Structure 1
Amino acid sequence: MSEVAVERLSNDKAFKVIFVLGGPGSGKGTQCAKIAKHYGFTHLSVGDLLRAEINSGSNNGTMIESMINEGKIVPSEVTIKLLQRAMRESGNDKFLIDGFPRNEENRASFENLEKIEPEFVLFFDCPEEEMERRILNRNQGRDDDNMETIRKRFKVFIESTLPVIEFYNLKGKLYKIDACKPADEVFEDVKAIFSRFRAKNITLLQFSLSII
């Protein structure tokens, strides 16, 4: 694989980022679409960005396709480069980054490069059996929605992404959501989290102003 130069995106602009995590089929994409519409965030699905790169026919696309089919995690520098391009092109400063970071190396690379920590992290918790059922029932024409690849993706999620979830949990930035409910009920839980976070930030701002 050729080297991918990754330069810092956020030198002169303050970005708000929320990471959205959950196993394949946990409903992240559905909820992100609702959040984006309701709160004005730009939804960036790492899976969609990677598939678009595959369809572009680039050398990186060929490598990405091979890694996805093997259930492996794409190198951080490649994923971050795609994220940076999408963030820059969006014109927005508020982002839901869906399906990232997928491992500790992803997390550290993004935070060290951009000097951005997420406002908070949403974790859509769903049993593996339910996620498998959803993936097999959906009809999106995706080559990676086959049983062998699904099982590999579950394994990677457990081994690589759960430690990231625990990291943010220990930092007090994680909000865990029961993703087994109907989508509209899940979104009500999401809205409650946004309301609590907004209220918390207003309180902190008021406290900060009071001591100036």
Structure 2
Amino acid sequence: MPVIETIKKALHLDHSSTSTPAASSSTAPSSSTAPAAATDLAVPATSITHETPAFDSKDVTVLFVLGGPGVGKGTQCANLVNDYHFVHLSAGDLLRAEQIRPDSEFGAMIKDYIKEGKIVPMEVTVKLLETAIGDALKSPPAAWAAGTSPRFLIDGFPRKMDQAHKFDDSVCASKAVLFFSCTEEVMLERLMERGKTSGREDDNKESIIKRFRTFIETSMPVVEYYRGRNRVYEIPAIGSKEDVYAKVRVAVDEILAK
């Protein structure tokens, strides 16, 4: 059976799936934070073939965070979590967690895709993100109970146009894109340094070069698509982390004020 059909069958995406009501931000508050990894992919929670999004963008704010590998997205997301009470969902982290989850149907496939610098099939990534958002809404950070609306940073996603459309249409309409721009020379230097201690299989020069090419060919069209809709906030990511974050704050303050 072709890999996509296998994925759809495992995720209960075959044939007639029914839409689910949009989630509300009135979920009972809890002081616990969102789990780092999603739950079993095969659990038929909310299907990614919704006729309407699973979560209402009036209640849930989603910002996509895009930029080439090594641009510093994770560092800046961590700052926003601390200061603005976002829940940070890294598509890469969710995929890496899934590839080592016991009994995962897709672990070996995800591992091969990541090693080759390729994009994991959309059905898997979108399902992991939808499940993670749902888990966070069930067990929200304490700050949300104190009046902060549910808000998510989705880091490293969407990486292709079909992912962008699928997420906006079936999970939650995104509000804006934080796009971190940087030269490949700087990103390569950062990743090679990180590779000395990260233990990640893709932090080697060959995989990094493949990831650069993949980003340019498949992810930059996503950035340009949202730029054409005045939803991209471009942040130059060369300079100190503090200088970059100062620019990030200006952009996020403007986005949240809308």
TM-score normalized by the length of structure 2: 0.74
Name the structure 2 match of 1:128. 184
Is structure 2 residue 65 aligned with structure 1 residue 20? yes
Which blocks of at least 5 consecutive residues in structure 1 are unaligned?
A: 202-212
Secondary structure of the corresponding residue to residue 17 of structure 1: strand
Contact 2:192 2:203 in 1 (8 A): yes
Amino acid at match of 1:112: D
Which blocks of at least 5 consecutive residues in structure 2 are unaligned?
A: 14-46, 141-149
Q: Could you say which structure has the higher helix fraction?
A: 1
Name the structure 2 match of 1:208. none
Name the structure 2 match of 1:80. 126
Contact 2:64 2:174 in 1 (8 A): yes
TM-score normalized by the length of structure 1: 0.89
1:19-38 alignment, distance < 5 Å: 19-38=64-83
How far 1:85 moved relative to its partner? 1.3
CA distance in 2, matches of 1:197, 1:16: 10
Aligned mate of 2:158, from 98, 101, 121? 101
State how many pairs are aligned. Answer: 199
Name the structure 2 match of 1:205. none
Aligned mate of 1:110, from 139, 153, 167? 167
Name the structure 1 match of 2:207. 149
How far 1:82 moved relative to its partner? 0.5
Structure 1 consecutive aligned stretches of length 4 or more whose deviation exceeds 6 Å: none
How far 1:13 moved relative to its partner? 8.1
Secondary structure of the corresponding residue to residue 59 of structure 1: coil
How far 1:30 moved relative to its partner? 0.3
Amino acid at match of 1:121: V
Secondary structure of the corresponding residue to residue 198 of structure 2: coil
Name the structure 2 match of 1:190. 248
Amino acid at match of 1:27: G
Aligned mate of 1:164, from 222, 225, 228? 222
1:50-89 alignment, distance < 5 Å: 50-57=95-102, 58-89=104-135
Contact 2:57 2:174 in 1 (8 A): no
CA distance in 2, matches of 1:59, 1:149: 24
Paired-residue identity, %: 44
Amino acid at match of 1:172: N
> Alpha carbon RMSD of aligned pairs, Å?
1.6
Contact 2:57 2:173 in 1 (8 A): no
Distance 1:40 1:11, change over 3 A: closer
